[in-house]
């Protein structure tokens, strides 16, 4: 990815798209400190638009000296963009959608729509659309719909709606007219209640699955990270699998799991997850919380980073904020391993520095998921993690409880055994984390 927004919009223009042409605006508010450069932020917003195959006709950074309650953007900027939209229309290349890469109040959204004569969505709306287009599993679809409805309900503006898709349209584009969208709050409220109930059902089933998995208690290794960091590529590389990995923001939405045999012969369950992004809509975080619980209960959490990305530090901070939000302390939780990916894109001093940093830290490695370079360092850390902390425990198991006995033999090392009439008294070398699965399969465990 280059950093020039113009070249980016050009490359994206060549994409086949029948979803419409979009103008992407990234407002920069004066006096507001941001970690990322405006250019990088604009580029990310263009990437988000491309993620649902919108044709990005133009992309621009818009300076905002004084945010206006009515429109966010200033009068001059609005005029300028409105003229651009008008010109495009006259040239027969109408712009159907304006994406404002910022939070907009319902009023601001409405007023901008009037000023531009085009649909306007904000960052939250765009991300919700991507998730809506991407969700494959029933649960994923329900989660996105719940997030969208909650968002709509909170705004009382229905200029675009996920419900349109239910009627065969595609969200804000080419869907039925607004007059058909006269769903009142109560209707939305009812739908929310219904979805929540459905989600509960789906989750109960998933909970059962998780329990079943906990009975085959291989440690679960979850991949987390910023979108496009290379989680799915690493997943494929480790699992010899072929899941969708693409230079596309939010390529993965539904979590995927595979059993993987490490070179040492140890088995783990590898779990690919949805990527994170800065300013992730809170509605989405809430809706996806249950999915992210898979991460909370994982034995090892691999934080995959695109170490070659110019915003890699800001991305790391965003991911760590979400992990913290999930109750995982990225600094102290021993389950978190930092994986600096894409080292094939680095050379010289940069590469040296990344390798040295990984080397120094006990819980980090640097590799390339694409080339497989230094993948062994990750496997080594995983093996270390799984043998580390074995303790000798004494357990009394009833003879009748064959399942538990078999489980202990399979997952620990039984170093001593004495039988009496009712019980087997065992001495087992086992990791406390593994042992915890016996008592509470699939339950969250406090960080050791
Ligand atoms: N050069 C290089 N590219 C990589 C590497 N790993 C992944 N990529 C590329 O980065 C892009 C994103 O990879 P994905 O594996 O889809 O990323 P992800 O983290 O799963 O992204 P989301 O599912 O969208 O959150 C793809 O174009 C990959 O080919 C790497 O080690 N080196
Ligand atoms: Mg992915």
Q: What is the mean pLDDT of residues 125-153?
A: 83
Measure 245 CA to ligand 1 centroid, in angstroms. 6
> Model confidence over 71-96: pLDDT tens digits?
999 999 999 999 999 999 999 999 98
Helices 289-296 and 185-215 sit at what angle, rounded to 10 degrees?
Answer: 20
Q: How far apart are CA 181 and CA 3, in angstroms?
A: 39
The reply to whether ligand 1 has any atom less than 6 angstroms from the CB of 233 is yes
The reply to whether ligand 1 has any atom less than 6 angstroms from the CB of 125 is no
> Model confidence over 392-432: pLDDT tens digits?
789 999 999 988 998 888 888 777 899 999 999 998 878 77
* Stated length of the chain: 448
Structure confidence at residue 180 as a pLDDT band (50, 70, 90): very low
Beta bridge partners of 390: none
Query: Beta 256-261 vs 391-398: how paired, if at all?
Result: unpaired
Structure confidence at residue 228 as a pLDDT band (50, 70, 90): very high
Listed in sequence order, the residues at least 6 apart from 80 whose beta carbon sits closer than 8 Å to its beta carbon are: none
The answer to whether 213 and 442 are in contact (CB under 8 A) is: yes
Phi, psi of 208 (to 5 degrees): -65, -40
User: Which atom of ligand 1 is the closest one to the Cα of 369?
Assistant: 31
Listed in sequence order, the residues at least 6 apart from 353 whose beta carbon sits closer than 8 Å to its beta carbon are: none
The answer to whether 431 and 335 are in contact (CB under 8 A) is: no
Reference 273, options 290, 293, 252, 258; nearest CA is: 252
Higher model confidence: residue 302 or residue 167?
302
Three-state SS sequence of the chain? CCCCHHHHHHHHHCCCCCCCEEEEEEEEECCCCCCCCHHHHHHHHHHHHHHCCCEEEEEEEEEECCCECCCECCHHHHHHHHHHHHHHHHCCCCCCEEEECCCCCHHHHHHHHHHHCCEEEEHHHHHHHHHHHHCCCHHHHHHHHHHHHHHHHHHCCCCCCCHHHHCCCECCECCCCHHHHCCCHHHHHHHHHHHHHHHHHHHHHHHHHHHHHHHCCCCEEEEEEECCCCHHHHHHHHHCCCCCCCCCCCCCCCCEEEEEECCCCCEEEEEECCCECCCCCHHHHHHCHHHHHHHHCCCEEEEEEECCCCCHHHHHHHHHHHHHHCCCCCCCCCCEEEEEECHHHCCHHHHHHHHHHHHHCCCEEECCCCCCCCHHHHHHHHHHHHHCCCEEEEEEEECCCHHHHHHHHHHCEEEEEEECCCEEEEEEEECHHHHHHHHCCCCCCCCC
User: Which atom of ligand 1 is the closest one to the Cα of 373?
Assistant: 31
pLDDT at 415: 73
pLDDT at 388: 67
pLDDT at 184: 62
pLDDT at 14: 36
The reply to whether ligand 1 has any atom less than 6 angstroms from the CB of 152 is no
Q: What count of Cα atoms within 13 Å lies in the side-chain half-sphere of residue 135?
A: 23
Per the prediction, the chain carries an average pLDDT of 81
Task: Find tokens 């009439």 and name the residue.
Answer: 421
Q: How far apart are CA 263 and CA 185, in angstroms?
A: 56
Mutate to test the pocket of ligand 1, among 52, 230, 243, 244 (most ligand atoms within 8 A of CB): 230
Q: How far apart are CA 156 and CA 278, in angstroms?
A: 25
Residue with CA nearest ligand 1 atom 30: 342
> Model confidence over 7-23: pLDDT tens digits?
333 333 334 445 689 99
The reply to whether ligand 1 has any atom less than 6 angstroms from the CB of 251 is yes
**The two three-digit tokens of residue 410, written as one number:** 């399979």
**The two three-digit tokens of residue 6, written as one number:** 């113009």
Q: What is the mean pLDDT of residues 272-288?
A: 79
Structure confidence at residue 36 as a pLDDT band (50, 70, 90): confident
């Amino acid at each position: 990815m280059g950093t020039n927004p113009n070249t980016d919009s050009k490359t994206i223009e060549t994409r086949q798209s029948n979803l419409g042409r979009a103008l992407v605006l990234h407002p920069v508010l004066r006096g507001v400190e941001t970690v990322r450069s405006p250019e990088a932020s604009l580029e990310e917003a263009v990437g988000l638009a491309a993620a649902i195959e919108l044709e990005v006709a133009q992309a621009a950074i818009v300076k905002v000296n004084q945010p206006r309650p009515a429109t966010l953007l200033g009068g001059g900027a609005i005029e300028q963009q409105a003229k651009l939209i008008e010109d495009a229309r006259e040239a027969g290349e109408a712009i159907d959608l304006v994406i404002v890469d910022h939070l907009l109040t319902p009023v601001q959204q409405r007023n901008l729509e009037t000023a531009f004569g085009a649909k306007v969505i904000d960052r939250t709306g765009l991300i919700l659309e991507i998730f809506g287009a991407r969700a494959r599993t029933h649960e994923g679809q329900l989660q996105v719909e719940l997030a969208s409805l909650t968002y709509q309900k909170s705004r009382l503006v229905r200029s675009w709606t996920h419900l349109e898709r239910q009627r065969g349209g595609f969200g804000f584009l080419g869907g039925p007219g607004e007059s058909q969208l006269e769903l009142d709050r109560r209707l939305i409220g009812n739908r929310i209640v219904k979805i929540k109930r459905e989600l509960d059902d789906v989750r109960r089933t998933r909970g059962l699955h998780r329990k079943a998995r906990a009975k085959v208690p291989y440690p679960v290794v979850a991949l987390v990270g910023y979108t496009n960091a290379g989680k799915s590529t690493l997943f494929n590389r480790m699992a010899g699998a072929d899941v969708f990995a693409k230079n596309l923001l939010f390529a993965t939405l539904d979590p995927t799991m595979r059993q993987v045999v490490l070179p040492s012969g140890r088995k783990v369950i590898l779990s690919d997850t949805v990527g994170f992004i800065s300013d992730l809509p809170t509605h989405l975080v809430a809706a996806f919380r249950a999915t992210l619980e898979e991460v909370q209960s994982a034995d090892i959490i691999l934080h995959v980073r695109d170490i070659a990305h110019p915003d890699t530090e800001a991305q790391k901070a965003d991911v760590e904020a979400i992990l913290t939000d999930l109750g995982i302390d990225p600094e102290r939780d021993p389950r978190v391993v930092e994986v600096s990916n894409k080292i094939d894109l680095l050379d010289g001093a940069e590469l040296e520095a990344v390798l040295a940093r990984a080397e120094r830290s006990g819980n980090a490695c640097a590799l390339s998921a694409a080339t497989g370079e230094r993948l062994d360092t990750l496997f080594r850390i995983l093996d270390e993690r799984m043998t580390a902390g074995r303790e000798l425990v004494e357990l009394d198991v009833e003879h009748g409880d064959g399942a538990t006995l078999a489980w202990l033999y399979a997952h620990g090392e039984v170093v001593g055994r004495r039988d009496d009439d009712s019980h087997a008294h065992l001495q087992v070398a086992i990791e406390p984390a593994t042992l915890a699965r016996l008592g509470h399969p699939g339950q969250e465990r406090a960080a050791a």
